[in-house]
Amino acid sequence: MATEHAIRVEALTKSYGDLEVLRGVDLAVARGSITALLGANGAGKTTLVRILATLLRADAGVATVGGADVAGEPARVREAISLTGQFAAVDEVLTGRENLVLVARLRHVEARGLGKPAAVASALLERFGLTDAADRRVGTYSGGMRRRLDIAMSLIGDPPVVFLDEPTTGLDPQARNEVWDAVRTLAAGGTTVLLTTQYLEEAEQLAHQIAILHEGRIIVDGTLAEVKALMPPATVEYVEKQPSLEEIFLAVTGAGAGAPAPQGGEQR
Ligand SMILES: Nc1ncnc2c1ncn2[C@@H]1O[C@H](COP(=O)(O)OP(=O)(O)O)[C@@H](O)[C@H]1O
Ligand SMILES: [Mg+2]
């Protein structure tokens, strides 16, 4: 099993003082998949991602990334991951190309046999549709271009697992589409992506697997089809209308009337 999953989380807990944020999180993320960790603001998404990225320690439970234990082997985990946060970490004064070359040098790509920094930068600019803007200062970029550059930067050094924490929060619809394309590009290259989002549509658009974090636990985990199948049967009356993920979210979190008791991904 361990080799099939890029990320495994079992019974993970984390509190800040009296505030119990994670109350026993279980999650398994298949290699090469895009998994959306969906939850409201304050649900604990960033907390979970920071634990997986070795930036924060869990109180209890086990988590492995790329087969390495986040608590016991943090250096091995860090070699296998990159983390892109909600706020782009790019330098605005530098050009897009300069940002990428800088990070490529810092990550010693040449010594690791991944190519010269300039070549690594050019390839990523091309892959994320930034070639035309490559030699402009990032300060002149749109929000979507910045976020794409940020995602491109996270790929330098070929980490097998990429965490994207709310990659489209604060972006306009067009920029959001650009980032979605960038995430699809990532996964098409074989990278495992765990992204967090408050946007149900984003999970629906991008994810092979959807995990809903609510009140400290993963209350639903499965494919989009499996998650949709959790809708109360009454909805079947509306044959022409598929339930939106939003309706499912409201139903399974108990916010809507007639919520079913979620039993895991394979329930119908
Ligand atoms: N360092 C911290 N100290 C105290 N409380 C925190 C800290 N970080 C996050 N929290 C609280 O934990 C909860 C979950 O936060 P977070 O993981 O950032 O949620 P999300 O990313 O889903 O919005 C929130 O109530 C937040 O205010
Ligand atoms: Mg967050």
Q: Quick check: 12 pLDDT over 80? A: yes
What distance in Å separates the CA atoms of residue 215 and residue 44, rounded to the nearest whole number? 9
Q: How far, in Å, CA of 117 to CA of 97, rounded?
A: 10
The pLDDT score that the predictor gives to residue 200 is 87
Percentage of the chain lying above the pLDDT 70 cut:
87
- Ligand 1 centre to CA of 135 (Å) is 38
Ligand 2 centroid to Cα of residue 4, in Å, is: 27
DSSP E strands in the chain: the ranges are 5-16, 19-30, 34-38, 60-65, 68-69, 81-84, 161-165, 192-197, 209-214, 217-222
Q: How close is the Cα of 56 to the center of ligand 2, in Å?
A: 14
Q: Is 39 in the pocket of ligand 1 (CB under 6 A)?
A: yes
Cβ 87 under 6 angstroms from ligand 1: no
Q: Which atom of ligand 1 is nearest to the CA of 39?
A: 22
Residue 59 has what pLDDT? 98
The domain ranges of the chain are: 5-231, 237-268
* 26, two tokens: 């279980």
> With contact defined as beta carbons under 8 Å apart, do 244 and 235 qualify?
no
Q: pLDDT by residue (tens digit) across 83-136?
A: 886 555 788 899 999 999 999 998 899 999 999 999 999 999 998 899 999 999
Sign of CA dihedral 190, 158, 121, 36: positive
Give residue 44 CA to ligand 2 midpoint distance, Å: 7
Whole-number Å distance between alpha carbons of 141 and 156: 20
Listed residue (171, 266, 170, 254) closest to 222, CA to CA: 266
Query: What pLDDT is recorded for position 87?
Result: 57
Which SS3 state, helix, strand or coil, does residue 247 take?
helix
Q: Is 41 in the pocket of ligand 1 (CB under 6 A)?
A: yes
CATH superfamily of 5-231: P-loop containing nucleotide triphosphate hydrolases (3.40.50.300)
CA 94 to ligand 1 centroid distance, Å: 32
- Judged by average pLDDT, the poorest of 36-50, 58-72, 94-108, 232-246 is 232-246
Best residue among 16, 20, 22 to mutate for probing ligand 1, ranked by most atoms within 8 Å of CB: 16
Rounded CA-CA distance 167/248 in Å is 23
Q: Which of 12, 18, 38, 46 for a ligand 1 pocket mutation test, highest count of atoms within 8 Å of Cβ?
A: 46
What's the CA gap between 231 and 247, in Å, rounded? 8
Q: Could you read off the pLDDT of 200-259 as tens digits, one per residue?
A: 889 999 999 999 999 999 999 999 888 878 766 555 555 556 667 777 778 887 765 444
Q: What average pLDDT does the segment 46-56 reach?
A: 96
Ligand closest to 39 (CA) is 1
Q: Assess whether the C-beta atom of 16 lies below 6 angstroms from ligand 1.
A: yes
Residues 199 and 36: their CA atoms lie apart, in Å, by 10
CA–CA distances in Å: residue 157 to residues 53, 109, 148, 200, 263: 16, 6, 17, 31, 39
| Whether 58 contacts 22, CB under 8 Å | yes
Which ligand is located closest to the Cα atom of residue 20? 1
Pocket test for ligand 1, best of 13, 18, 19, 218 (most atoms within 8 A of CB): 19
Res. 263: pLDDT tops 60 = no
Give the residue from 251, 266, 253, 245 showing the smallest Cα distance to 219.
253
Give, using CA atoms, the residue closest to atom 16 of ligand 1.
Answer: 44
The pLDDT assigned to 122 comes to 97
Contact 164, 196 (CB under 8 A): yes
Q: Is the pLDDT of residue 50 over 70?
A: yes
Query: How far apart, in whole angstroms, are the C-alpha atoms of residue 76 and residue 72?
Result: 9
In Å, how far are 4, 13, 108, 180, 267 from 88, measured between CA atoms? 31, 28, 22, 16, 39
Neighbours of ion ligand 2 (CB under 5 A): 45-46
Interval 4-13 mean pLDDT = 95
pLDDT at 36 over 50: yes
Say which ligand is closest to the CA of 43.
1
Enumerate the β-bridge partners of residue 13.
23, 60
- The DSSP code for 165 is E
